[in-house]
Amino acid sequence: MTGSMRLWQSPEETGIAALRQVSAAIPDPGDNELLVRVEAAALNFSDLLMIDGMYQIRPDRPFTPGQEIAGTVVVAGSASGFVPDARVAGKVLWGGFAEYAIVRADMAIPLPDSIGAAAGAALPVVYTTAMVALVEDANIKPGDTVLIHAAAGGVGLAAVQIAKACGARVIAAATGPEKRALVAANGADVAIDYKAEDFAEVVMAATDGKGADIILDSVGGEITAKSLRCIAWQGQLLIVGFSSGEIPKIAANRLLLRRATARGIYWDHDRDPEMVSRCTEKLIALCLDRSIKPVVSDGYGFEDLPRALEDLRAGGTVGKLILNVLDGEV
């Protein structure tokens, strides 16, 4: 395809302040790839780490960050199984903060018309991560008590909705009364304000001293250490990330005394494509029957990427931050 596009580029210099908007040729997809006109791109904490040069995946610089997109197929590779004009969401390793992106066909999720681009862009990473953690790894069951940290964030709200759809009792922890109200509105049975309450004490009181069967932790630091004070017998600690910036040291004696397990949550299309397909199919089904509804903050235009990333880093946002790549509502 001929023509040029706008994209954001992270140059040799690291950090948000170094990001620059440039023009480049629109790429051509391979046989098993799609060229997608990006309508919405979602922000992830890992984007910040990648821009800062601190993520485990370190593309050659300069590169275009962004890992979650939704839009319309412009060109479909001959072996992709897709057709032009199909609506898709997709995960890319990087390259999402651009007007066009190349998406591997096996990493594309067909989007029904009832799911908008902003909501669709939230599915490939955070909702899939929450689904892998709770359903595939923890084998969540009706009646389980699930503690979700940073519950007003992207992964957190996804986990609240998925856990509730699975019949679990959800205890959600967030910072401040507004976020506490948000997680309650999205299905949390017990909503905790980190600033006002000791979450471990609240969990133990709410479970009559039993503790949480599943704890989803995307924060790290002292939150992880404190979580082991309120984990149930044979409970599961699911480690999703370290948004606090501190990688915790886990007290193995607490795991031993509770016969509990700590498990890292990391998934890869190439390592387990069937599992990822199962998860995305379940997510679309839950969206269609309205069991889940991605909560997005989509007040950012394409020009606003640096501001959106700064807001994400500051931690005052709720739900999934979305970059509106096309003008107007998505």
Asked if the model's pLDDT at residue 129 lies above 90, the reply is yes
Q: Is beta strand 169-174 parallel, antiparallel or unpaired with respect to 100-104?
A: unpaired
> Which contiguous run of DSSP H or E holds residue 37?
strand 33-42
State mean pLDDT over 112-116.
95
96 pLDDT higher than 70: yes
Q: How much is the pLDDT for 327? A: 64
CB 76 within 8 A of CB 29: yes
Range from 61-65, 167-171, 248-252 carrying the lowest mean pLDDT: 248-252
Pair 108, 283: CB distance under 8 Å: no
Q: Angle at the Cα of 270 (from 266 to 274), degrees rounded to 5?
A: 85
pLDDT value, residue 195: 85
Tell me the two tokens of residue 143.
């009646």
Question: What's the chain's average pLDDT?
Answer: 94
Q: Could you tell me how far CA 209 lies from the centroid of its own chain?
A: 31
How high is the pLDDT of residue 329? 40
What whole-number distance in Å separates Cα of residue 235 and Cα of residue 124? Answer: 27
Which pLDDT band, with edges at 50, 70 and 90, does 138 fall under? very high
Of the pLDDT bands very low, low, confident and very high (cuts 50, 70, 90), residue 328 is very low
The arithmetic mean of pLDDT across residues 170-197, rounded, is: 95
Closest by alpha carbon to 305, among 19, 57, 12, 68? 19
Residue with the two structure tokens 């880093």: 313
Higher pLDDT, 330 or 87: 87
Contact by Cβ (8 Å): 28, 75: yes
Distance in angstroms (rounded) separating the CA atoms of residues 235 and 238: 10
Q: Which is it for strands 33-42 and 100-104: parallel, antiparallel or unpaired?
A: antiparallel
User: Positive or negative CA dihedral for 288, 100, 92, 219?
Assistant: negative
Q: Long-range contact list for 247-252, CB < 8 A, 24+ apart?
A: 247/220, 248/220, 248/221, 248/222, 248/223, 248/224, 249/225, 250/224, 250/225, 251/225
Q: Give the Å distances, CA to CA, from 280 to 16, 171, 292.
A: 31, 25, 13
Q: Which domains does the chain have, with CATH numbers?
A: 4-122+294-324 (3.90.180.10), 127-264 (3.40.50.720)
Res. 87: pLDDT tops 80: yes
